[in-house]
Structure 1
Amino acid sequence: MLDLKTSLLIVVALTIIVIGLIIYLRQRKNPATLAFAVFTVGISLWALTNALFQVTTNHTIGIVAALASYFTGILITLPFYSFSANFPYPLTIPKQKKLTRLLWIYGIIWGFIIGIPGVTLRDVVYDPTGRIITGLGLYFYGISLGIFLVGGMVRLWVKRRQAQNIERRQISLILIGVSISTFFGMICNLLLPIIGDYRLVWLGPDFALVLIVLMAYAIIKHGLFDLRILATEIFTIALGLVIVVELLRSSSTFELGIRFIILLVFIFIAQQMLKSVYEAIRAKEALRIVNEELQQVNAELQELLNIKTDFIHAASHQLRTPLTAIRGLLTMDYEGDYDNATPEERKSLQRNVLTAVERLGMVVNDLLRAAELEQGLTGETVLGDVTKLVEQSIETLRPNFIKKGVKLDYEKPTIPLPQILMHENYLQQVFLNLLDNAERYSPTAGTVVAKLKLENNVITFCVQDDGIGFTKEDEKKMFTKFGRTAAAKSAQPNGSGLGLFIVKRIVEEHGGTITAQSQGSNKGALFTVKLPLHRT
């Protein structure tokens, strides 16, 4: 029958290998997870070789167990160094291959050295407990592996200083686990054996379980695994391993039968328990997903409600301004303020009323057009000539440029542009709006440059001015409903704030894009429209 410390070593070994396997199966392609899995294999073999060394008194088996224990040192320190290099984020593939190659070469060299008789192990003596007579090479072996252990800890410490929040905490946990395991491992498996005391060598692998648990927890949190499922699996398997060990320690056939029945009952209960845990967690996860979706829908509805409210407020303001002006002027005329006015003064009154009416009509048209575009463009598409539309727009607005004293340059395409499918009236509004804005917001004696060209199967129309420009903050609301900048409101108080919104919707309905660029206030602006030759 196995004694307590041997049983404990076997349980620890099996628990560690199960933890490593579970973690690896959940994230097989991660180099850090693979390194961790190999690391757990090394710790498990270390525990098992210690258990074998404890139960045997055979000289040959003792030699094999001691040498195997030295080999496990390679499977512990080198994977740990690889883990430190790849956690929390893996190395690039070239660096990963180079590191793996170097670690393999180093491990094979030391594996060969360990196998040379008398270099690291001279003999094993049982008097009555087992103790190892080491060779001189063991000290160099210990120092070389210690370099990788310390090197891995240094790498993790550097990463901890650079990490933030949860990653910093996970690396801290690993460093704590390494420190605890190294401290007790040095005492039980190095310092005490040096002075001939081998009574506590079996505790080294047991303390390594602390490191394994903390490393596993760090990987779980970084990989976003479900900790509840993993904890349930590990607990169930660990408890099952304890029952298996007790089964192996049975001293009679009757005791063996009873413990075997207990094992079968445990397997059934464990299967049902894991099943219920999975179902409960899946149900809770499904509720969480539904809740998140409902919150997202609610947020979208709230955003739509806010947009609608903002639209009503802005539209009311845009309509109220010209109506207020008309009412004020007509009230003054009705109350006799213009009874003794000269013909020029009455003409000025009429002109102001007409201007307010025109502005009101412009706002109403823009509002109707914006609402119409929310439902998409009406009418059928036809093959049309973009060059023709641009040149018509330029000729329509050229008198405005001449009247203000703004120079308008037009760079024609170097080759005839192919026709594209379009809503002709809508698309012409795009060119008219951009050119009109360039004239309105350019200073007297300024220059506006319009370009039309074909590049990479895309028709590009650009309008560059040297007017009021805009800031980075202004750019965010450039194409939104009523999104006018302070400079635009100052330069053109009567604008509706819907023009660029309408332009953007029309361009997008044609499968294109529009962008705006500026170096800042009073540094001009560049608007670029791109229309694909073939719409998807």
Structure 2
Amino acid sequence: MYFTTINILLGISFFTIAVLSTLLFLRSRTQSSVFLSLSACGAGLWIASTIIFLNASQPVLFTIGTKGLHVAGIMILTAFVCFSYTFSGGNIKLNKKFLFSLLIISVLFIYIIVFTENIVQTTRDYAGVSNSSISFGNLYPCYSLYILLSAFLSYYFLIKKSLKTKSKLEKVQLLYIGIGTIVSLSIGLVINIIWPFFGIFNHYWLGPFLSIFFVVFATYAIFKHHLFNIKVISVELFSALMSVFVLVDALLSKTKIEFILKFGLFMGVVGISILIIRSILNEIKTKEQLSKLSEELRGVNEELKKLDQAKSEFLSIASHQLRTPLTAMKGYSSMLLEEDYGVLSPKIKEVVDKIYQSSGGLATMIEDFLNVSRIEMGKMKYEFSNFDFKKVIDETITDFATNNKKAKTLDLQFATEGTDFNITADKNKITQVVSNLIDNSIKYTPKGFIKALLTRKPNTNIVLLKIEDSGIGISKETLPGLFQKFTRAKGVSRLHTGGTGLGLYVARKIVEDHGGIIWAESKGEGKGSAFFVELPIYPAGRD
């Protein structure tokens, strides 16, 4: 064998196809990948037979090479037909007649090629290395027709699949397979089937060499979009080729020392290749595990969203059902306190007042739950109008000072800096925010003062409300999450047990929906706190 350019190219193709066909066969999990591996093995036989044919130094080698070339053609096309059929959705196991017919025809052709001279004649054409040609028997046209029909049938299955499929993944796979087969099969059919009729054998090696395109592209299509990873295939292929070349170089050494050094290099290449492949396999395994966990988390997250939605709907329904009796309780207790039904004794009046206060607190709590469910379902509605913000604050503080027993024990103050405090907003929702902030200050201020200050920020269209108290204060740890759902400051339960931790969350959402901001400040526990609300006079898009 001579180390010519053609032999080197054929050798590279052979080792590449040998590695890919072996990997395909070992990792095959579908019918299509099994048949592709068999077709790739046929391509490997085609190349090996071509090398023997071109370099035959004896008639027997010439015979082996010639017959091997034509047996390989049968293997490649028969397996490729089965591959195309199964890849396009057919099931060989269910269509046994189709498989049986192909096998009978293939075995018959192989028998004729190997044991007779009816397709290829090898007894009179040997003329030494690179000078031999092939003469054909009387059945060669039948052989050629089978090869051509098999190629057309394969393309029929693949084209039919490409026209039917809507999957982008399958379209990409078919594109790769199409590119690989058009390059290799079309040129192979011309150079190795048609030209030999006219006695042209000059480029007989080109068809087998180009079969590498068919195997590489088809293998890529299968591996890239299924359970295999092309990175591993590429590294394994490169490592195998590198190892083979280094080993061949070592075997061609002229001295023992040169052989030992080059063989040591070969062992090093093999060892490093194994380590790299293991590393990549571990990486892929980790990615697959992460991908699986990600899918599981995505599923759990979807379930949680559904549960959260169900919870919000339940809260909305339950809250609506509770509002009616609570409104009646509050209304009747108010009428009793105002003595619409007659004069009450001080003891009874005290009990009725507790009912009134409790029903009012419970009504506020239910309103918070309703607002949370509206916010989460995106159903919070606002009715914007122009009103005097100063008047809203003044009326709210007056209402607390008049009707809240605890407020009567505190020093409630309200001051303004400026004159024009008209804003465009949802009056009821803004009143709810102010009421919530003042109510919180009253609940968590055992004694002392609550001061509300309303100002107009200089040279802006923004009003600022500050509500400061001398209460229990807020720790630095609590401040960042104070306006989140179900968050209550540390130690507040000893002063007020009925809170839900929703009031400030709802207030934040309302203020933000108005284009404003809300925040709290405190120097620490026991040092009071201050809440700030900034609102634009005209919310964005409404001026």
> What interval of TM-score do these two structures reach, taking the shorter chain for normalisation?
0.5 to 0.7
Report deviation, 1:61.
Answer: 1.6
Quote the Cα distance in structure 2 between the aligned partners of 1:12 and 1:286.
Answer: 35
Report deviation, 1:44.
Answer: 0.4
TM-score of the superposed pair, with normalisation by structure 2: 0.56
Report deviation, 1:237.
Answer: 1.8
Q: What SS is found at the alignment partner of 2:135?
A: strand
1:379-421, CA deviations, whole angstroms, 9 ceiling, x for partnerless residues? Answer: xxxxxxxxxxxxxxxxxxxxxxxxxxxxxxxxxxxxxxxxxxx
Structure 2: any 5+ residue segments left out of the alignment? 342-543
RMSD: 3.3
After superposition, where does 1:171-320 map in structure 2 within 5 Å? Answer: 171-247=174-250, 256-320=259-323
RCO higher in 1 or 2 (8 Å CA, sep ≥ 6)? 1
Moved more, 329-338 or 125-134: 329-338
Query: Is the CA contact 2:177–2:214 (under 8 Å) kept in the aligned structure 1?
Result: yes
1:322-349, CA deviations, whole angstroms, 9 ceiling, x for partnerless residues? Answer: 55577779999999999xxxxxxxxxxx
1:85-106, CA deviations, whole angstroms, 9 ceiling, x for partnerless residues? Answer: 11154516331x3222112111
Change over 3 Å in CA distance of 1:243–1:206 after alignment to 2 = farther
Partner of 1:154: 156
After superposition, where does 1:31-430 map in structure 2 within 5 Å? Answer: 31-91=31-91, 93-95=93-95, 97-115=96-114, 117-122=116-121, 123-126=124-127, 129-164=131-166, 165-247=168-250, 256-321=259-324, 323-324=326-327
Quote the Cα distance in structure 1 between the aligned partners of 2:94 and 2:69.
Answer: 32
Change over 3 Å in CA distance of 1:298–1:116 after alignment to 2 = closer
Report deviation, 1:172.
Answer: 2.3
Change over 3 Å in CA distance of 1:24–1:88 after alignment to 2 = farther
Change over 3 Å in CA distance of 1:34–1:293 after alignment to 2 = closer
1:277-304, CA deviations, whole angstroms, 9 ceiling, x for partnerless residues? Answer: 2233333333444444444444444443
Query: Is the CA contact 1:192–1:198 (under 8 Å) kept in the aligned structure 2?
Result: yes
Change over 3 Å in CA distance of 1:26–1:185 after alignment to 2 = same
Partner of 1:3: 4
Moved more, 248-257 or 11-20: 248-257
Quote the Cα distance in structure 2 between the aligned partners of 1:86 and 1:132.
Answer: 35
Report deviation, 1:316.
Answer: 0.7
Quote the Cα distance in structure 2 between the aligned partners of 1:272 and 1:334.
Answer: 87
Quote the Cα distance in structure 1 between the aligned partners of 2:285 and 2:94.
Answer: 39
Quote the Cα distance in structure 2 between the aligned partners of 1:104 and 1:301.
Answer: 56
Quote the Cα distance in structure 1 between the aligned partners of 2:37 and 2:137.
Answer: 31
1:232-280, CA deviations, whole angstroms, 9 ceiling, x for partnerless residues? Answer: 2222223223334444555666654443232111111111211222233
Change over 3 Å in CA distance of 1:248–1:146 after alignment to 2 = farther
Query: Is the CA contact 1:11–1:241 (under 8 Å) kept in the aligned structure 2?
Result: no
Report deviation, 1:315.
Answer: 1.0
Change over 3 Å in CA distance of 1:61–1:251 after alignment to 2 = farther
Partner of 2:413: none
Report deviation, 1:116.
Answer: 5.1
The alignment covers a number of residue pairs equal to: 340
Q: Does 1:17 align with 2:18?
A: yes
Query: Is the CA contact 2:183–2:214 (under 8 Å) kept in the aligned structure 1?
Result: yes
Query: Is the CA contact 1:173–1:215 (under 8 Å) kept in the aligned structure 2?
Result: yes
Report deviation, 1:204.
Answer: 1.2
After superposition, where does 1:366-515 map in structure 2 within 5 Å? Answer: none
Quote the Cα distance in structure 2 between the aligned partners of 1:256 and 1:2.
Answer: 20
Change over 3 Å in CA distance of 1:268–1:304 after alignment to 2 = same
Report deviation, 1:152.
Answer: 0.9
Quote the Cα distance in structure 1 between the aligned partners of 2:271 and 2:134.
Answer: 45
Q: In structure 2, what residue type is equivalent to 1:131?
A: S
Larger Rg: 1 or 2?
A: 2
Q: What SS is found at the alignment partner of 2:204?
A: coil
Query: Is the CA contact 1:82–1:99 (under 8 Å) kept in the aligned structure 2?
Result: no
Structure 1: any 5+ residue segments left out of the alignment? 339-536
Change over 3 Å in CA distance of 1:248–1:292 after alignment to 2 = same
Q: What SS is found at the alignment partner of 2:125?
A: strand
Query: Is the CA contact 1:35–1:79 (under 8 Å) kept in the aligned structure 2?
Result: yes
1:161-203, CA deviations, whole angstroms, 9 ceiling, x for partnerless residues? Answer: 1112111221222122111112221343234434433232112
Query: Is the CA contact 2:92–2:98 (under 8 Å) kept in the aligned structure 1?
Result: no
1:422-464, CA deviations, whole angstroms, 9 ceiling, x for partnerless residues? Answer: xxxxxxxxxxxxxxxxxxxxxxxxxxxxxxxxxxxxxxxxxxx
Q: What SS is found at the alignment partner of 1:125?
A: coil
Quote the Cα distance in structure 2 between the aligned partners of 1:273 and 1:303.
Answer: 45
> Sequence identity, in percent?
27
Change over 3 Å in CA distance of 1:92–1:136 after alignment to 2 = closer
Q: What SS is found at the alignment partner of 1:20?
A: helix
Quote the Cα distance in structure 2 between the aligned partners of 1:49 and 1:251.
Answer: 29
Partner of 1:504: none
Q: In structure 2, what residue type is equivalent to 1:107?
A: S
Report deviation, 1:75.
Answer: 0.7
